[in-house]
Amino acid sequence: MKTPTGKIYYIQCSTWRDKKQVTFLHTTTVGNSRGKSVKRHTKGRRGRGRIEIAAPQSQQTYVENFNAVDRNDRDSADWSTTIQTVRYFLRIFTWMLDRVLQIVYQIVVDVAKVLKPEWKRYTSKNNGRHDFQIDLGISLLNYAIKYDLDNKDKLGYTGDYPNWMKQGVLDPCRCEKCYFCIKGLTNGIVHKHTGKRSSEGNGDSATTKKSKAVVECTDDRVGLTLADGSPMKWNDYCKKCLEKRSGKWKDKVKKCPTSKLGCAKCNEPICRECWKTYDHPKAQKSS
C-alpha cells in the first residue's frame, strides 16, 4: 500500500496449521518467519513431553498482545455506556465513547504510577475503574455547565441560567462535587427527612406536617395494630397470663388464652379475664 507521500505499508496474510487452520492478517512482523516454533501436546505422547512445530512470527506477536483485546472486551462489558435504541448511530457513538474511555483510563493508570500519585486510587482493584468513570463524568458535566454559564449571553440564553437548567433558587445540595456546590450557588444544606413536606401556591410557601394520631388508653378492649398501622389479623397469647405463669415457654403457653384485643396505646393482647385487672403499664410510665 503506497501513500500519496510515497511511504509504503505492507499487509501480510499468514496461514498456519495448529490444532486447526489459523490465518493471521497483520501489518507487523512482515516477511519470512523461519526459525520460529511452538510446543504442543500430541496424542500418544502423554508423559513424554511436548513436541516443537514451526510457527510464524505473527503467532508469537499475537500471543504476547492478545490479552489487550480480552481486557478491552471485559471493560466494555462491565462499564458500557451503550443504550438500547433503534437509532443505530447512537449505538455506534456510545461504542466509540466506550473505547475512548478505556484508552483514557489506561493513560491515567500509567500516569498515576509516575507523575500523579493522587490518581493512585484509580488503579485499585476495588472500584478503581468505577471511581474513574464517575469522576470523569462529573468533571465533564462541571466543564459543560461552566462553559454555558460563562458564555450565556453569547449562546443566546435568557434568564439567570441556561435554558436547559432550572431557573431561580437552586435546590439544597451538599455533595461538594458538582459545579454548584463548588461555587456555593446552592440554597442551604440538605437536612434529614422530618416528616414535613412543603408546597408552593400563589407565591407563598405552605407547609403541611404529617402528624401521627395520638392514641390514648381506653376502658374497652379494642383491636390491636401492627407496626405498619394495619390491624392485627391473628390472635396472640395474653400478655398478663404469660407473666403469671412460670417455667419453659412450651409449658407457659399450654391452655394460655389468646386474643387480638387489648389496649390501643399499650398494644398488648389481653384476654377478657385479665382485662378486669389490667393496669395499663404505658399509661403509668408516661404519667
Q: HEC states along 184-226? A: CCCCCCCCCCCCEEEEEECCEEEEEECCCCCCCCCCCCEECEC
Residue 78 pLDDT more than 80? yes
Residue 177 pLDDT more than 70? yes
Cell reading at 84: 438500547
Give per-residue pLDDT as tens, 9-59.
889 999 998 888 999 998 888 888 788 888 888 777 766 778 888 888 888
Among 85-89, 169-173, 272-276, the range of highest mean pLDDT: 85-89
* pLDDT of amino acid 213: 55
Cell reading at 180: 454548584
Cα R_g (the chain), whole angstroms: 37
**Residue 58 class from Cβ within 10 Å (0-12 exposed, 13-18 middle, 19+ buried)?**
buried
Domain boundaries along the sequence of the chain = 12-70, 140-191, 222-286
CA distance 246 to 244: 7
Give per-residue pLDDT as tens, 68-77.
778 888 888 8
Q: How many Å from the N-terminal Cα to the C-terminal Cα in the chain?
A: 97
